[in-house]
Amino acid sequence: MKSAWKILEQKYPGLICNGCAAHAVNLLIKDVCKLEVFANALERAWDVTSFVKVRNALTKRFERIQETLLVDGEISSKRALSSVVATRWYTHYNCIARVLDNRKVLAQLANTALFQDLKVTSGSRVKKAAFVDAITDATFWSNLQSMETT
């Protein structure tokens, strides 16, 4: 691509060639998200999100808790948890923002009988423990808030 740009710039002296700005931003954010300070918090936010989203019963309970909290005025809107897509920088932000938006919902979800009695395999037992560790960790929430405002 760059060699084609050089040929065009030589043939048409006023022409300036550059790459796609959106792609450059995606690559930049991807690299920033690999920094340790961001990577750990983002990974934990993704773990929280995926733990709920891959379990239909938990997703339905999550939605019911949201509805109850909305009616009670404890949250201002219902926002679904958002998955991360590696090539779309805004999904990293959305994942973090949606986990933050749903902090109360996630805390209540972890205290439900459905969550407590969730049948788990050895692999999902680790994921369940990681979910609980994340949502009960004040540093996790602080890091997410810092990332959201950065």
Going by C-beta distance under 8 Å and a sequence separation of 6 or more, which residues neighbour residue 78? 63, 66, 67, 70
DSSP-derived secondary structure for 65-87: HHHHHHHTTSSS---------TT
Q: Note the pTM of the prediction, 2 decimals.
A: 0.82
Q: How confident is the model at residue 130 (pLDDT cuts 50, 70, 90)?
A: very high
Q: Encode pLDDT of 47-96 as tens digits.
A: 999 999 999 999 999 999 999 999 999 999 999 999 988 778 789 899 99
On the question of pLDDT at 150 being above 80, the answer is no
Q: Could you tell me if 105 and 71 are in contact, meaning their C-beta atoms sit under 8 angstroms apart?
A: no
Q: Encode pLDDT of 4-45 as tens digits.
A: 888 888 888 888 777 788 877 878 888 888 888 789 999 999
pLDDT for res 28? 82
Token pair for residue 32?
């920033």
DSSP state, 120? -
Instruction: Please report, for residues 3, 82, 97, 124, 142, the alpha-carbon distance to residue 149 in angstroms, rounded to integers and kept in the order given.
Output: 40, 18, 10, 32, 11
